[in-house]
Amino acid sequence: MKADALRGHLDALLLASLDGRQLHGYAIIEVLQERSGGALDLPTGTVYPALRRLERAGHVHSEWSTVGGRQRRTYRLTTSGARTLADERLAWNEFTTAIEGVLGTESPTPAQA
């Protein structure tokens, strides 16, 4: 998938990957890969700065925990993050409906126009 296609959607993707769970950064990357059928293979250099930005904005909270015997920073949604995710999902649904209306149908024939 083209990196440009993700522009403006990374935060929503990260928030969605944390919906209802607490994960460390690499697990978030794995969730995105799995849910996208492998189309989203984001580098850690993209994900971790975005997670820090979301934390500064108050949308995620992080803490150190032991995962598989190793200390890792895990992330979870805050109340603000859950609200933001709900807003992002609504906006995405509106956007995809509008785009589907244009790209998802055949052009009308002159008789239909």
The pLDDT, as a whole number, for residue 49 is 94
Instruction: Locate the domains of the chain by residue range.
Output: 3-91
Q: Which pair of tokens denotes residue 100?
A: 């589907």
The pLDDT, as a whole number, for residue 17 is 97
**Among candidate residues 34, 21, 13, the one with its CA nearest the CA of residue 74:** 21
Q: Is 35:1 a contact under the CB 8 Å cutoff?
A: no
- Please, which residues bridge with residue 71 across strands? 66
pLDDT by residue, tens only, the chain of 113 residues: 655 677 789 999 999 999 999 999 999 999 999 999 999 989 899 999 999 999 999 999 999 988 788 899 999 999 999 999 999 999 999 999 999 999 987 766 666 65
The pLDDT, as a whole number, for residue 75 is 97
Question: Any alpha helices (H) in the chain, and if so which ranges?
Answer: 3-6, 10-18, 25-35, 44-56, 79-103
Domain 3-91: CATH architecture, name and number where available: Orthogonal Bundle (1.10)
The pLDDT, as a whole number, for residue 105 is 75
The pLDDT, as a whole number, for residue 56 is 97
The pLDDT, as a whole number, for residue 65 is 84
Amino acid identity at 29 = I
Q: Which pair of tokens denotes residue 40?
A: 């989203």
Q: Which pair of tokens denotes residue 70?
A: 């190793």
Beta strands in the chain, from DSSP E residues, in sequence order? 23-24, 60-67, 70-77
The pLDDT, as a whole number, for residue 107 is 66
The pLDDT, as a whole number, for residue 39 is 92
